Amino acid sequence: SVTNLLVNFLAIDSTYPSDTTNVAASAVWTTNGLPLPPETNSVNLEIVQAGYALTKTLLTPSDRTAQVGEPIEFQIRLMNTGEVDLVVVPLMDTFNAAYLAPLSAVPPVNASGAGFVSWTNVGPLLAGSETSVVVRFTALATTHGLPETNKVRASPSTPAGKPTVPVLTNE
């Protein structure tokens, strides 16, 4: 007869940059009490951590409220905090088009429309590396003392067979 055992494990640490080996061993006895030779089987396993951080910072004006007609500049930073490369890194920056109009970006945007600018890929972003984007807007109208939110969204992909990363936003 055959017995199958299913055992679940929780990965608690990375094995990067190498693999680990999971070994199963059995020792059985016959019904008359005689031991059989032990059997083992093993599997190599890679455990990696995938992750990244996304931040958006107001660069200018840095120490006061913006005035209508002046440029406003933001820096968007992506830091690959994991051990897995981010192969494609799309970004979308959204804003209220009643208050801001896009001026320029480094690197240049791939698409823009009412209330958004986007980049199809600011990657690849190798494990442990980072990149930044600077985007400039013109202030179109006063917010009458109420803050307006400008939000960036990143949705990177990882190589096939590697852990995925979640979509992140920062405002």
**Which of the two residues, 158 and 9, has the higher pLDDT score?**
158
Report the percentage of the chain scoring pLDDT > 70: 100
Give which of 79, 91, 82 is closest to 129, Cα–Cα. Answer: 79
> What is the pTM (predicted TM-score) of this model?
0.81
Question: How far apart are alpha carbons 34 and 95 in whole angstroms?
Answer: 76
Provide mean pLDDT across the span 100-107. Answer: 96
Q: In this predicted structure, which of 38-42, 85-89, 126-130 has the lowest mean pLDDT? A: 38-42
Q: What is the pLDDT, as a whole number, of residue 122?
A: 97
User: 105-162, pLDDT tens digit by residue?
Assistant: 999 999 999 999 999 999 999 999 999 999 999 999 998 888 888 899 999 999 999 9
Contact 16, 49 (CB under 8 A): yes
Provide mean pLDDT across the span 58-68. Answer: 91
Q: Which positions ≥6 away from 161 have C-beta within 8 Å?
A: none
CB count in 10 Å sphere of residue 143:
14
Q: What is the pLDDT, as a whole number, of residue 120?
A: 98
